[in-house]
Structure 1
Amino acid sequence: MSVGNDLVLVTGATGKQGGATARRLLAAGRPVRALVRDTESAGAQALAAAGAELARGDFDEPETIAATVEGAGAVFLIPPAAFGPDGWDVELEARRGEDLVAAAKAAGVRQLVFSGIASFEAEAQWGAHGKRRIEDAVRGSGLEWTILRPVRFMENYLAQGLPVDDITAGVHRHLFPADMPIQMIAVDDVAAFAELALTDPARFHGRILELAGDAHTMVAAAAMISAITGHAVTYEELPEDFAADLGGEVLNVYRMTHSGKGWHADIPALREILPTLRTFEQWLTETGAAQLKPILEG
């Protein structure tokens, strides 16, 4: 078993952000303990093959979480989202994060890096409250801490079978205004910021970073996908009643964006920290277009 202050416990390790962060840390030679619910899953086994130590744990079984933090010097924290038919379960999501923060502190962990959700220029009841409570726990932990707030992922274009954000028959449907630039970021760039914070805790202690790598209108993004993949994609803006059917938090996001309020990451400042921060065009050229083509051809 890997022990010592260099060991990073990565939660959400088989998810997008956790998996990308674990892989980056392992590639850099940093020991990683991956928190997983099923050590035999394909995602968990892939991490083990890459060199990660697997630790079985469940955020809803606090006694298993306490065991996973023992011997770790840092934790990359992404508690599972708690979202159901009635919207976000703020209490459950917050408790999951707060319990891990408490366990990390009790175990003598030195550093916490929490990845939550970006803030709007005017926040409202839209699903961020659970994550803000976790942020409060992180800031009040007495440990070294960094908070990452990523905006919408570029990888969302790869989603299938969702009410919004997938591309079906060459049409990308979403609730965002067609003419409003919407910020986005590549998942691996979130992982890159996490790696920076975990590598240099003193530099990033106490910092809250709103993360984005690019911004385009939904129409312009669809045109860029068309040009790079060679498959025509258009954008369809869904109406307010569609947002209302998805719940109160989604409706509030709809109304905020349609009143001109959106994410506000300082992309030039972020690029000073991470010069390799991807634009949407770069993401498409590197990996996105290749992954989109089978979807567009289906």
Structure 2
Amino acid sequence: MTVEIAVVGGRGKSGRAVIESIRARGASARPVGRAELRDPVAAFRGADAVYLMAPNMHPDEPGLVRALLAAAHDAGVPRVVHHSVAAPYLPEMPHHLGKAEAERLVRASGLNWVILQPCAYVQNFLGQLVGSAPELVVAYDPDRPFGLVDLADVGEVAAAALLGEVPSGSTLELGGPDLVSVRDVARVAEVVLGRDVGVRRTSLQEWAAGPGAGLDPRERDWLMAMFASYDAQGLAAGPLGVQAVLGRVPTPLALVLERELAP
């Protein structure tokens, strides 16, 4: 009998990576989005596991996860994997705190659970690396350290967890093989692209008046808080979670960029 996995947020960037890895392992995966979540019990019924992933910057992730856990119980789903974030308890970042509280709810759910804590993805920078004059523009110190991770690695780890290859009760931080900065990303991208890649820091005020101008004020404030935290300390995360599950080191930055930026 084919294993069936329900992936909340399965039509987004992260969800598509998870579904691709599930299917590569011979299991069946179905995306669960806003339409399906009008009746989450029906959306989850028949699933062997559910991937719990809130939309980015969700205003009430604990409330959403609480409802999804209740639906999983009612649908008879035995296993959940929660997509959290590296360093969830950072009081200066409201959306991280929401994930920390959601983790608490998952742990208290009575279900078999695994929690994944991925760092920021290498892929988050790809949009700025295309075109004839690539430039990485960030509203924080471009030399701060990050454990940038390959989204494909996160998808593989998630699939393994959903298919029972990760022991229940595990919390795994998912970072890349090395701590890297935005400037490191630019330097590696220069080699891959064969052209100069600029790095420019913009102020929070400039960002708010430019890219952030059209956002909901709450989301804009949360992102500014995130940038301020990144400016102070970056977001470090280590490679051991990926390595323990996949049996190899996480995909290095250069290989990710070569794969993603190949013509």
State the TM-score, normalizing by the size of structure 2. 0.84
Structure 1 contact 121–264 (Cα < 8 Å) conserved: no
The list of structure 1 runs, each at least 4 consecutive aligned residues, that deviate by more than 4 angstroms after superposition, is 165-168, 243-246
Equivalent in the alignment of 1:147: 115
1:248 pairs, out of 221, 231, 237, with 221
Residues matched between the structures, number = 252
Equivalent in the alignment of 1:126: 94
Confirm or deny that 1:206 pairs with 2:169: yes
Structure 1 contact 7–31 (Cα < 8 Å) conserved: yes
Higher RCO structure, 1 or 2 (CA under 8 Å, sep 6+): 2
Structure 1 distance, partners of 2:80, 2:112, is 6
Structure 2 distance, partners of 1:129, 1:121, is 5
The structure-2 alpha-carbon separation of the partners of 1:243 and 1:127, relative to structure 1 and needing over 3 Å to count, comes to farther
The structure-2 alpha-carbon separation of the partners of 1:158 and 1:80, relative to structure 1 and needing over 3 Å to count, comes to same
1:241-280 superposed matches below 5 A: 241-242=205-206, 246=212, 247-259=220-232, 261-268=233-240, 270-274=242-246, 275=248, 277-280=250-253
Structure 2 distance, partners of 1:75, 1:152, is 22
Tell me the amino acid that sits aligned with residue 35 of structure 1: V
Gap regions ≥5 residues in structure 1: 38-55, 294-298
Report sequence identity in percent. Answer: 26
Q: Measure how far apart 1:36 and its partner are.
A: 4.0
Q: Measure how far apart 1:226 and its partner are.
A: 0.9
Structure 2 distance, partners of 1:76, 1:268, is 21
Equivalent in the alignment of 1:89: 59
The structure-2 alpha-carbon separation of the partners of 1:155 and 1:105, relative to structure 1 and needing over 3 Å to count, comes to same
Q: Measure how far apart 1:243 and its partner are.
A: 5.5
Q: Measure how far apart 1:190 and its partner are.
A: 0.7
Task: Single out whichever of 204-213 and 101-110 deviates more from structure 2.
Answer: 204-213
Q: Measure how far apart 1:13 and its partner are.
A: 1.4
Equivalent in the alignment of 1:9: 6
Confirm or deny that 1:190 pairs with 2:154: yes
Confirm or deny that 1:110 pairs with 2:78: yes
The structure-2 alpha-carbon separation of the partners of 1:168 and 1:209, relative to structure 1 and needing over 3 Å to count, comes to farther
State the TM-score, normalizing by the size of structure 1. 0.75
CA RMSD after TM alignment: 2.6
Confirm or deny that 1:70 pairs with 2:45: yes
Structure 2 distance, partners of 1:36, 1:99, is 14
SS in 2 for 1:179: coil
2:179 pairs, out of 201, 208, 215, with 215
The structure-2 alpha-carbon separation of the partners of 1:175 and 1:121, relative to structure 1 and needing over 3 Å to count, comes to farther
Task: Single out whichever of 226-235 and 25-34 deviates more from structure 2.
Answer: 25-34
1:158-177 superposed matches below 5 A: 158-159=126-127, 169-177=133-141
Structure 1 distance, partners of 2:241, 2:86, is 16
2:255 pairs, out of 259, 279, 282, with 282
